[in-house]
Amino acid sequence: MLKNVQEPAERVVANVERVIVGKHAEVRMAMVALLCEGHILIEDVPGVGKTMLAKAISKSVGCTFRRIQFTPDLLPSDVTGLSIFNQKTQEFEFRPGPIMAQVVLADEINRATPKTQSALLECMEERQATIDGITYQMPSPFLVMATQNPIEYEGTFALPEAQLDRFMLRLKIGYPKPMEEIVILDEQKRKHPIDELRQVTDAEELRQMQLAVKEIYVDQAIAEYIVRLTTATREHGDVYLGASPRGSINLYRAVQATAALEGRDYAIPDDVKQLAVPILAHRLIVKSQASLREVDPEAIVREVLAQVPIAETSGATA
Q: Check residue 88 and give left, alpha or beta (phi > 0: left; psi -120 to 50: alpha).
A: alpha
CB 194 within 8 A of CB 59: yes
Phi, psi angle pair for 148, to nearest 5° = -155, 150
Is the four-CA dihedral 282, 129, 16, 5 of positive or negative sign? positive
Residues 276, 213, 263, 11, CA torsion sign: negative
Helix locations, 127-268, DSSP H: 161-165, 178-187, 203-213, 220-235, 245-261
The CATH number fitting domain 3-190+200-211, selected from 3.40.50.150, 3.40.50.300, 1.20.1420.30, 3.30.460.10: 3.40.50.300
CATH topology of domain 216-307: Helicase, Ruva Protein; domain 3 (1.10.8)
The CA-based dihedral angle spanning residues 29, 171, 225, 294, taken in that order and rounded to the nearest 10 degrees: 160
| pLDDT tens track, the chain, 318 positions | 566 788 899 999 999 988 888 888 899 999 999 999 999 999 888 888 888 888 899 899 988 899 999 988 998 888 988 888 888 888 888 888 899 999 999 988 888 888 888 888 888 888 988 888 888 899 888 999 998 887 766 777 888 888 888 999 998 888 888 898 888 888 887 788 888 888 898 889 899 999 999 999 999 999 999 999 999 999 888 888 888 999 999 999 999 999 999 988 899 999 999 999 999 999 888 888 877 788 888 888 999 999 988 875 455 443
Between vectors from CA 246 to CA 24 and to CA 44, what angle results, nearest 5°? 40
Q: Which residue ranges make up each domain of the chain? A: 3-190+200-211, 216-307
